[in-house]
Amino acid sequence: MKIAVMLKQVPLKAAGMDMVRGVILRGQTEKTLNPFDKPALEAALRLREESCSLDVYTMGPSSAANVLKSAFELGADRSFLLCDARFSGADTYATSYALAQAAKLNGGYDLIVCGDRTTDGSTGQCPASLAAHLNIPFCGQVVSIESLHRDSVELTRSSGGKNITISLRLPCVISVAEGKYELRLPSLKSKLAAAKKEYTLLTPDMFGDADPSHYGQSGSFTRVAKVYPARQTKQSAAKKLSPHEASALIVGEAARVKGGAL
Amino acid sequence: MKLARLPENDGKLKILVMLEHDESGISPASFQLLTAAKSIKEECRLFAVLIGKGADRHSKTLVKYLVDCVYIYDDGDYLMLDSHRAALAVVDCARELLPEILLIPATDTGRQVAAAAAVALKTGLVADCTGFSLNAASRLVQTRPAYGDSLIAEVLTEKTLPQIATVRENMFPPYAALSDHPPLRIARRLRSAVMPEAKFLGVGDAAKASLSSAKIILAVGAGIKQKKDIGLFEEAAVKLGGMLGCSRALVERGFMPQSRQIGLSGMSVAPKLLIAMGISGSVQFLAGAKGAEKIISINTSGQARISSAAHVPIIADMYEVAKQIISG
C-alpha cells in the first residue's frame, strides 16, 4: 500500500499589516508545520506501521524543506519539495493541480491524507480539489480511520454533530480532523535514520503536464484585487471591578439564563 | 425524468445557489444564500439546486422565495458520503444553466463540493465570503477575511464562469418569504453514470456537545498564559453551566482544538450569554459572536476592542475572576 501526506509550512503567527505603508508583513515571522496537518501525519504514520510506504509532499519556498525533515524524523520513507518560481502565486486550484501532478509522477497512491485546512489560507479547499484533479473519491473531516483494506478504506467522518461511518473505494483522498490523532514525538532511532534521508526537489518540467502556464499565478483562476485592514470597532469605557464583583455579576447572569431556560 | 423548460435568456444575471438540507429541512445557512444572491443584484434570475435524499420533499418550501427554478437531484444520500460525486450534480446543473455566479454554503460539505465543482468546471473559487458586489466590468467582487483574519481581501475570478464562492454562515439574514408568489418551477434530474464509490455503514451522534447550540459560553483568548491554565477556565465554564470556547489565538498556539473556536474561521455561536475573557475582540471574533444575546467581557485594560462590543465591559484579572467563580 502506498500512502502520501500533503503538508504545508505556515507562519507561526498571523501576518500583520504595516498600517503606515499599507503593505502586508510576510516572510518575517517564524514558520512551522500547519497545526491542522499534524493529525493527518499521525494517522498516516500509524498506517505505515501496518506495512505501508509513506511519502510526504509540500509546496513552498526552500524553507518548507523543514517540514519534510520533521516528517523524516517521524518515519516518512520519502519526501518531495515542490519548489520553483513557476509554482508561486498559486490559488487553491493551481496548488492542488501541482500536488496532483506530483502524486501522478510517483505512480499515484492508494491513499492520500491531508489536514482539514491551514492556519494561513484557511480555505479548506485543497484536499477536495486534489481529489477532483485526480478524479478519485474524497472524504473530509475524518476523525478515525477504522480499517484499510486492499480496495477500500473504512472511515468515520464527523460533521454537523453526527459521526458517519463510511467505506470509500481506493484510491481516494481524505482530510483528517483533529481528534484522536495526536502527533508523536521523534525517537532517537528515527532521528538518526532521518539524518541519512534527503528530499527530492520537484519542478514543473518534471511533471506529465510540463506546461508552466498551468502552475502558480498563471494557472490560477482567482486574483486578490485588493487587501485592507479589518475594520476596527470604536472603544467604550469599561468598568473596573474586583474579581469578586465580576464573578458575582457573571454568576448572576448565568443563573438568569438557566432560570429562563427552565 | 421530468425537465422544466429552461428559462429564456433575457440577459439578466443568473445566480445558482446550492442549498443544503437534512431531515429537518433546508438549512438556515442555505436560506441566507438567497439573500446573498439578491444582494449582488436584485434583478437577477435566481436558481437553486438541491442534492440528495429528501431534496424533492424540501424543495416545496422554496415556493415562497422567488426562486426561478429548483433543480432536484434526489437519487441517493451521497452528499454526506463523497463530496466529489455530489459535486457532479452541481456541475451538471451549472452546465445546463450556465450561471454567471454559483454560491454554496461554507459548511464542511459545502466547501468540499465547491472545490470539486470548481475543478470540474475549470473556474475560480473563493472561500468563506462575507460580502459581494459587482465591479464596473460586471465581475463579482468577493470579500473574505485573509492572512490570519487581520485583513480583508477582495478577490476576483477574472476570466472564467461561473464565479464560484462559498458563503460564510450568518453574514446575511435569511431571505424573507413572500406571501404572494407564482408557482414553483421544478426540474428533476438524475446524475449521469456515476459509480457508487462510497458506501454508508452507520451513523451516530458525535460525542461532543456543540458550541453552536450552547446557551452559555465562556470564551478565552490570548490572555491565557499557558496550556495547562485551560483547565481552570473549563472548570469555571462548567460551574456556570456552560461550555468553554476560544478565539483563534489559542487554536494557533495549540492550546484549544479548532472545534472550540469562535470567529470567522471557526464557529458562529448564538448563546444567551457569552463571557469573553482575555479576548481582544477582532472583527472576525465578533462576527462569530454576533448571535450572542449578551456579552460580558473581562480584560486587563479598557483598550481591548471587545470593550466597545460587549454589553458589559469589565476591567479585571481573568484568572482571579475564574477562581472566584469556581470557589463562589
How confident is the model over A192-228, as pLDDT tens digits? 999 999 999 999 999 999 999 999 999 999 999 998 8
Predicted local confidence at residue B53, as pLDDT: 81
Give the bridge partners for A176, in sequence order: A115, A142
Contacts of B261 (CB under 8 A, 6+ apart): B245, B246, B247, B248, B250, B251, B267
Report angle CA A125, B144, B158 to the nearest 5 degrees. Answer: 75
Tell me the C-alpha distance between B262 and A100, whole Å: 33
Predicted local confidence at residue B193, as pLDDT: 43
Helix (H, G, I), strand (E, B) or coil at A192: helix
Helix (H, G, I), strand (E, B) or coil at B28: helix
Report ipTM (2 d.p.). Answer: 0.84
Mutate: best of A96, A133, A141, A221, partner B, most B CBs <10 A? A221
| Of the partner residues B83, B202, B283, the one whose CB lies closest to the CB of residue A138 | B83
In percent, how much of chain A has pLDDT > 90? 65
- Measured between CA atoms, the residue of chain A closest to residue B257 is A178
pLDDT over 60 at B111, yes or no = yes
CA distances from A76 to A56, A177, A190, A191 (A): 7, 20, 9, 11
B291 against A186, higher pLDDT: A186
The helix or strand, by DSSP H or E, that contains position B56, with its residue range, turns out to be helix B55-59
pLDDT over 90 at A111, yes or no = yes
pLDDT digits (tens, 9 = 90+) for B181-212: 777 888 887 664 445 566 767 776 554 557 87
pLDDT digits (tens, 9 = 90+) for A2-39: 999 999 998 876 555 555 555 555 556 788 899 889 99
Q: Is the Cβ pair B148, A243 closer than 8 Å?
A: no
Q: What is the mean pLDDT of residues A81-96?
A: 96
| Of the partner residues B82, B242, B315, the one whose CB lies closest to the CB of residue A239 | B315
* Rg, C-alpha atoms of chain A: 22
In percent, how much of chain A has pLDDT > 70? 89
Give the bridge partners for A228, in sequence order: B152
Predicted local confidence at residue B1, as pLDDT: 38
pLDDT over 90 at B243, yes or no = yes
CA distances from A205 to A8, A83, B155 (A): 22, 12, 29
Helix (H, G, I), strand (E, B) or coil at B305: coil
**What count of other Cβ atoms lies within 10 Å of the Cβ of residue B210?**
13
- Measured between CA atoms, the residue of chain A closest to residue B304 is A235
User: What strands, in cross-sheet order, belong to the sheet with A138-148?
Assistant: A200-202, A78-82, A53-59, A2-7, A111-115, A172-176, A138-148, A152-159, A162-169, B198-205
Distance from CA of B35 to the nearest CA of A (A): 22
Q: Is the Cβ pair B152, A231 closer than 8 Å?
A: yes
Q: Is the Cβ pair B119, A168 closer than 8 Å?
A: no
A160 against A250, higher pLDDT: A250
**What count of other Cβ atoms lies within 10 Å of the Cβ of residue B6?**
11
- Measured between CA atoms, the residue of chain A closest to residue B88 is A132
Q: How confident is the model at residue B269 (pLDDT cuts 50, 70, 90)?
A: confident
CB of A170 less than 8 A from some CB of B: no
Distance from CA of B181 to the nearest CA of A (A): 33
CB of A149 less than 8 A from some CB of B: no
Predicted local confidence at residue B176, as pLDDT: 80
Predicted local confidence at residue A235, as pLDDT: 45
B148 against A119, higher pLDDT: A119
Least confident stretch, A163-167, A180-184, B10-14, B204-208: B204-208
Predicted local confidence at residue B76, as pLDDT: 66
Provide φ and ψ at B198, rounded to 5°. Answer: -120, 140
A228 against A64, higher pLDDT: A64
Predicted local confidence at residue A261, as pLDDT: 43
**What count of other Cβ atoms lies within 10 Å of the Cβ of residue A107?**
7
Contacts of B84 (CB under 8 A, 6+ apart): A128, A131, A132, A136, A137, A138, B112, B116
A126 against B282, higher pLDDT: A126
B144 against B207, higher pLDDT: B144
Q: How confident is the model at residue A50 (pLDDT cuts 50, 70, 90)?
A: confident
Q: Is the Cβ pair A250, B123 closer than 8 Å?
A: no
Q: Count of CB contacts below 8 A, A vs B?
A: 294
| Helices B318-327 and A243-261, axial angle in degrees (round to 10) | 60
Predicted local confidence at residue A62, as pLDDT: 94
CB of A226 less than 8 A from some CB of B: yes
| β-strand pairing of A31-33 with A9-11 | antiparallel
Residue A34 exposed, middle or buried by CB count within 10 Å (0-12, 13-18, 19+): buried
B78 against B302, higher pLDDT: B302
In percent, how much of chain B has pLDDT > 70? 88
Contacts of A229 in chain B (CB under 8 A): 150-152
Q: Is the Cβ pair B115, A129 closer than 8 Å?
A: yes
Q: Is the dihedral of CA A34, A38, A43, A45 positive or negative?
A: positive
User: Minimal CA–CA distance to B220: which of B194, B246, B242, B253?
Assistant: B246
Distance from CA of B60 to the nearest CA of A (A): 23
Predicted local confidence at residue A234, as pLDDT: 44
In one-letter notation, the amino acid at residue B25 is G
pLDDT digits (tens, 9 = 90+) for A118-141: 878 778 999 999 999 999 989 999
Give the bridge partners for B133, in sequence order: B141
Q: Is the Cβ pair A254, B309 closer than 8 Å?
A: no
Distance from CA of B180 to the nearest CA of A (A): 34
Q: How confident is the model at residue B65 (pLDDT cuts 50, 70, 90)?
A: confident
The helix or strand, by DSSP H or E, that contains position B217, with its residue range, turns out to be strand B216-220
pLDDT over 90 at B216, yes or no = yes
| Of the partner residues B151, B307, B316, the one whose CB lies closest to the CB of residue A241 | B316
Predicted local confidence at residue A262, as pLDDT: 38
User: In this structure, are residues A112 and A174 in contact, taking their beta carbons and an 8 Å threshold?
Assistant: yes
pLDDT digits (tens, 9 = 90+) for B79-102: 566 676 678 889 999 999 999 999
Q: What is the mean pLDDT of residues B64-78?
A: 81
Tell me the C-alpha distance between B60 and B25, whole Å: 10
Q: Is the Cβ pair B107, A16 closer than 8 Å?
A: no
Distance from CA of B33 to the nearest CA of A (A): 18
Query: Is 0.80 surpassed by the pTM of this model?
Result: no
Contacts of B24 (CB under 8 A, 6+ apart): none
Tell me the C-alpha distance between B62 and B174, whole Å: 13
